[in-house]
Structure 1
Amino acid sequence: MTTGHAPLPTAHGGPTDALDGAVLLLRPDDDVAVATRDLPQGAVVAVADRFVTVTQGVPRGHKLAVADVAAGVPVRKYGQSIGRATRDIAAGHHVHTHNLGMDDAGRAHEVGTHLVDLPAPADPGRTFAGYRRADGRWGTRNYVGIVTSVNCSASTARLIADQFRGRVLEAFPGVDGVVALTHDTGCGLVPTSEGAQITRRTLRGYADHPNVAALLVLGLGCEMLPAQTLLDGLDLPADKPVRTLVIQETGGIRATVRAGVAAIEEMLPQISALRREPAPVSALVLGLNCGGSDGYSGITANPALGHASDLLVAHGGTSVLAETPEIFGAEHLLLRRAVSQDVADRLLARLDWWQEYMAHGGGTLDNNPSPGNKAGGLTTILEKSLGAVAKGGTAPLRAVYEYAEPVRERGFCFMDTPGYDPVSVTGLVAGGATVVVFTTGRGSVLGCKPTPSIKVATNTPTYLRMREDMDLNAGRIVDGTATVEQVGAELFEKIVAVASGEQTVSEDLDLGTDEFIPWQLGAVT
């Protein structure tokens, strides 16, 4: 075994039984390639102008060593270190958890060195069909939202919403539904604590969301976050009808359900009368998220979503990347795109917070990837993060927000959220996302009322197996039938269509109520 990296084996006219297209080498100097099919031991694969004999079977989506790497030396994928070899690795070996570990070496933090100007859109006047709100924002859906101040009002909220399930709303075709936004907190918290502020900010974000056309705020009456505090200081649009009910004051659950149903019945004709109008695509706020990632995520769906994100930003729109634990190890790529030192410092501050938070809990950020991620071919958080940041495209990073903060800046932004999908997406929606695109390799099934969620499969087998749960197949990129740019352009068109009212599969299944999960922090007394 040589010290460091050995060059790829070369051949001048390889074996006739060599497999062509069986692996993807993402950068010329990478030490690993990604298998596009199961590679049995003894198979010979073509890698650029070279041939590698598979000495250990490699599952589809996993990594094949295409160069010798000595123990302790970084292993490169995407042209970046994804970890260090924990033992000598020979070309032809399967590279995974048994021979690849974390690389704790620091990464160079250069600020603003890779700022690019996105190409001007071919159709700068592009529109979608949206709902105009009195404050100038545009919604993509018309929901009645029941926002609960405390878990104690959750059951009552669900009882009210249940009265509007089924055919009841057929008389109001302009209404997308009545959604009970219930949660597990709201009391037992120190009101000034970080946890209480996050909960309050999340609930206020949903109350103020442009996809919530009418609002019922529901409290118990003795909680630490009273119902009225969710509205105090909110500059809600004048055309959003709002009612507040407190169970203890209204006369108990049954009386509150009757009052809540009556209040919503009064609201329905007003919001059902709203009609979609041409709206500038620049008014869209796109949430970017991934879950159940696999070895193809950073090759297909994520970069395709990045291309769609760039197209939206080029039109003057906004896209928001999230999941702070899943940019760890790739933060240097985002820092190079930061438009100012302040933006860079805000991103680094959130990463520092996470390091301290994980250490306090006895863990590290490399506790991620999940078992499903590893089964799909991802080994370290570095590898996962390098693929995850591809969702953000190439646009300059203009702002960094804390969880559920209102997103005010146009362009590409970042929001600090956990990697747990429903908690992350809840923060994005609270921040104002009016459309979410969710990429998945293993097959996550997520909805996020009141915002539509577009689910994109990273590989064709998952798409075919779960076709009723996926909106788009990015696996065609690996299959060789489409490029990243083609799928990205198709995804952009899907975003515009869904924003204009086209139903996603999540909406067809009526998903998105149980996935409302605000991030909970802090002690409960």
Structure 2
Amino acid sequence: MNNKNGQQSFLQIHPGDNVLVALTDLPKGAAVQHNGVELVLLDAIAAKHKFFIHDMKHGDDVIMYGTLVGKTQHEVAQGSLMTTANTHHAANAYVYNGFTQPWQAPDVTQFRNRTFQGYHRSDGRVGTANYWLFVPMVFCENRNLDIIKDAMLKELGYAQSNKYERYTKELLTAYKTGQEPGSVSFHPVNTNSADRVFANVDGIKFLNHPGGCGGTRQDAATLSALLAAYADHPNVGGVTVLSLGCQHLQVKNFLTDLHNRNPSFDKPLFVFEQQKMESEEQLISQAIQKTFEGLIRINQIERKPAPLSALTIGVKCGGSDGFSGISANPAVGYTSDLLAALGGKVLLAEFPELCGAEQMLLDRCVNKEIASRFIYLMESYNELAQKLGSGFHMNPSPGNIKDGLITDAIKSTGAAKKGGTSPVEDVLDYTEPATKAGLNLVCTPGNDVEATTGKAASGATLILFTTGLGTPTGNPVCPTIKVATNTALATRMSDIIDIDTGSIIRGEKTIEQMGAEILEYCIRAASGEEIPKAVQLGQDDFIPWKRGVSL
């Protein structure tokens, strides 16, 4: 069945599925032809939503992506809309049966000899950016970081244009002259005319956070490992550390974690402890002076050619919709396969959003040790959630459900598509660095910012972030590329979206064609030729995970 524009109006994702996905809005009473059988729709089916191919009894399995994603809660007639009232989450049990899915790598001929222009570090890694990083050991130093940020960014040409300052001034003028605020129109004028002083330094970033003291010692230890991971990140050229002095997270703990992570760490690193200084003025002025000297030093590093095998791409979805598992996620998955075949690294995280996709991933684990670690991290995480009255099955948000992701298993099996089909080479806990080429599973929450924060900690030098509803998320040190599942979103929120995969839904491009285009964009972004919207907007989101229950 096609709509008036010739576009296919529904899709059966896997031959074994007993539900169909509406690609366009389908009216109640419409007759749908599927495999020689006519289905009359008993409900209006909005695009992205699902409807049943057969009559279903209470407790029947609901199959999508070829796997169990739910069970019916009562009898459901053929042609009915899938809803949270008639379908609840269900997923198959899983066990490691050995590496049962030999991989057929994609053809990488067009990318085999390609390079990107990156920043080469002394340990052999290559960054896609060159940032200076400010790290506070404790939340008490956040204000000092804010003062330094205000002092340095504008003068050095890194301040983001604030188009709302001029608008606020115009509103104030209107108020003072007796005009109504509604009479003042907003005009997005770029008010930043400053040029970057240091051409080879892409920015100065600040990791403000609420931790370091007052919580558990375990939280302080996890934060220390996280901050050390960011200091060691390939996209970071130098680091300034601000410490109060009396907090749980001591500088010596941070330096130990940094050394353990990278014994050959040789970037410029400046540490200032406020309780050892004569005044706040001395702390801030000395931090600015030494950082300025460090900026001069790292500005001497220039971009040079690097093989695509030096890329580490994190794949993430947020604000997902019913098209996520059909367009953007599988397209990014093909990009992942291309990079894996080229010897690069791919990081797939969000463990609550792998619920229901476990067996497919276990079948791709290259050995029992890796599979056992994945099972342990998944089960211990879910058990903790259940003890606190939650669980992975409670992951979908109201926005997810409204746009067709009725159960967590539906959301998860679609989310897992971002990891492509390559073997799982390693499983990493939060903040552990990726060292093996190919697909790595990284334990993080599904929470957008906590997950992207964790991906960067494991070494992602670019993040591909798919979204169906629109999510304004970025990362301080890892350029984040937004990939829309549908053209309506890409058009409506063009200020935050970089890539539109809606052409897959319309049947204009294949998943493989779109995946190759995404890798081309990644090469340009890694070279500094494309600046993703999240970077342009200064979306430097950073939220450490306290290892509590966050889905």
TM range (shorter): over 0.9
Please list the CA deviations of residues 81-132 of structure 1 after superposition, one character each: whole Å capped at 9, or x if unmatched: 1100111111211012121012255245433101314145214232110001
Q: Does 1:159 align with 2:147?
A: yes
| Residues 313 and 345, structure 2, Cα contact 8 Å, conserved in 1 | yes
> Which secondary structure does the structure 1 equivalent of 2:324 belong to?
coil
| Residues 474 and 487, structure 1, Cα contact 8 Å, conserved in 2 | yes
Please list the CA deviations of residues 193-218 of structure 1 after superposition, one character each: whole Å capped at 9, or x if unmatched: 3x333211111100111111011011
More off after superposition, 437-446 vs 264-273: 264-273
Please list the CA deviations of residues 16-60 of structure 1 after superposition, one character each: whole Å capped at 9, or x if unmatched: 999972111112231111111222211223335443211111111
Give the structure 1 partner of residue 221 of structure 2. 197
Give the structure 2 partner of residue 172 of structure 1. 198
Q: Of residues 280, 286, 303 in structure 1, which corresponds to 2:330?
A: 303
Q: Does 1:60 align with 2:42?
A: no
Alpha-carbon distance between aligned partners in 1 of 2:137 and 2:76, rounded to the nearest angstrom: 55
> Which secondary structure does the structure 1 equivalent of 2:400 belong to?
helix
Amino acid in structure 1 at the alignment position of 2:72: A
What's the TM-score, normalizing by structure 2? 0.88
Alpha-carbon distance between aligned partners in 2 of 1:221 and 1:518, rounded to the nearest angstrom: 21
What aligned pairs does 1:308-347 form with structure 2 within 5 A after superposition?
A: 308-347=335-374
What aligned pairs does 1:415-454 form with structure 2 within 5 A after superposition?
A: 415-454=442-481
Q: Of residues 178, 181, 186 in structure 1, which corresponds to 2:207?
A: 181
| Residues 8 and 507, structure 2, Cα contact 8 Å, conserved in 1 | no
What aligned pairs does 1:81-100 form with structure 2 within 5 A after superposition?
A: 81-100=68-87
Give the structure 1 partner of residue 240 of structure 2. 216
| Residues 355 and 365, structure 1, Cα contact 8 Å, conserved in 2 | yes
> Which secondary structure does the structure 2 equivalent of 1:135 belong to?
coil
Alpha-carbon distance between aligned partners in 2 of 1:442 and 1:236, rounded to the nearest angstrom: 43
| Residues 322 and 414, structure 1, Cα contact 8 Å, conserved in 2 | yes
CA deviation after TM superposition for structure 1 residue 180, in Å: 0.8
Alpha-carbon distance between aligned partners in 1 of 2:286 and 2:4, rounded to the nearest angstrom: 74
Question: Any runs of at least 4 consecutive aligned residues in structure 1 with deviations exceeding 6 A, and if so which?
Answer: 14-20
CA deviation after TM superposition for structure 1 residue 62, in Å: 0.6
| Residues 17 and 44, structure 1, Cα contact 8 Å, conserved in 2 | no
CA deviation after TM superposition for structure 1 residue 338, in Å: 0.3
Alpha-carbon distance between aligned partners in 1 of 2:453 and 2:7, rounded to the nearest angstrom: 43
What aligned pairs does 1:61-460 form with structure 2 within 5 A after superposition?
A: 61-103=48-90, 105-107=92-94, 109-119=96-106, 121-122=108-109, 123-166=111-154, 168-169=156-157, 170-191=196-217, 193=218, 195-232=219-256, 233-234=259-260, 235=262, 240-460=267-487
| Residues 114 and 308, structure 2, Cα contact 8 Å, conserved in 1 | yes
> Which secondary structure does the structure 2 equivalent of 1:95 belong to?
coil
CA deviation after TM superposition for structure 1 residue 336, in Å: 0.3
CA deviation after TM superposition for structure 1 residue 178, in Å: 0.9
Give the structure 1 partner of residue 525 of structure 2. 498
Give the structure 2 partner of residue 5 of structure 1. none
Alpha-carbon distance between aligned partners in 1 of 2:362 and 2:3, rounded to the nearest angstrom: 47
Q: Structure 1 20/184 Cα, relative in aligned 2: closer, same or farther at 3 Å? A: closer
> Which secondary structure does the structure 1 equivalent of 2:481 belong to?
strand
CA deviation after TM superposition for structure 1 residue 436, in Å: 0.5
Number of aligned residue pairs: 506
Q: Does 1:463 align with 2:463?
A: no
Give the structure 1 partner of residue 29 of structure 2. 42
| Residues 144 and 214, structure 1, Cα contact 8 Å, conserved in 2 | yes
Give the structure 2 partner of residue 521 of structure 1. 547
| Residues 68 and 356, structure 2, Cα contact 8 Å, conserved in 1 | no
| Residues 92 and 356, structure 2, Cα contact 8 Å, conserved in 1 | no
Q: Structure 1 180/252 Cα, relative in aligned 2: closer, same or farther at 3 Å? A: farther
Please list the CA deviations of residues 406-450 of structure 1 after superposition, one character each: whole Å capped at 9, or x if unmatched: 111111110000110100110110111101000001101111111
More off after superposition, 351-360 vs 211-220: 351-360
> Which secondary structure does the structure 2 equivalent of 1:147 belong to?
strand
Q: Structure 1 258/314 Cα, relative in aligned 2: closer, same or farther at 3 Å? A: same
Alpha-carbon distance between aligned partners in 2 of 1:108 and 1:157, rounded to the nearest angstrom: 48
Q: What is the RMSD of the two structures over their aligned residues, measured on CA atoms?
A: 2.0
| Residues 310 and 395, structure 1, Cα contact 8 Å, conserved in 2 | yes
| Residues 471 and 504, structure 1, Cα contact 8 Å, conserved in 2 | yes
What's the TM-score, normalizing by structure 1? 0.92
| Residues 315 and 465, structure 2, Cα contact 8 Å, conserved in 1 | yes
Residue segments in structure 1 that go unaligned for 5+ positions in a row: 1-13
| Residues 96 and 371, structure 2, Cα contact 8 Å, conserved in 1 | no
Percentage identity across aligned positions? 38
| Residues 228 and 244, structure 1, Cα contact 8 Å, conserved in 2 | no
| Residues 7 and 507, structure 2, Cα contact 8 Å, conserved in 1 | no
| Residues 319 and 413, structure 1, Cα contact 8 Å, conserved in 2 | yes
Alpha-carbon distance between aligned partners in 1 of 2:58 and 2:276, rounded to the nearest angstrom: 69
Q: Structure 1 52/166 Cα, relative in aligned 2: closer, same or farther at 3 Å? A: farther
Give the structure 2 partner of residue 6 of structure 1. none
Q: Of residues 530, 533, 539 in structure 2, which corresponds to 1:511?
A: 539
Q: Structure 1 104/522 Cα, relative in aligned 2: closer, same or farther at 3 Å? A: closer
Q: Structure 1 17/292 Cα, relative in aligned 2: closer, same or farther at 3 Å? A: closer
Give the structure 1 partner of residue 180 of structure 2. none
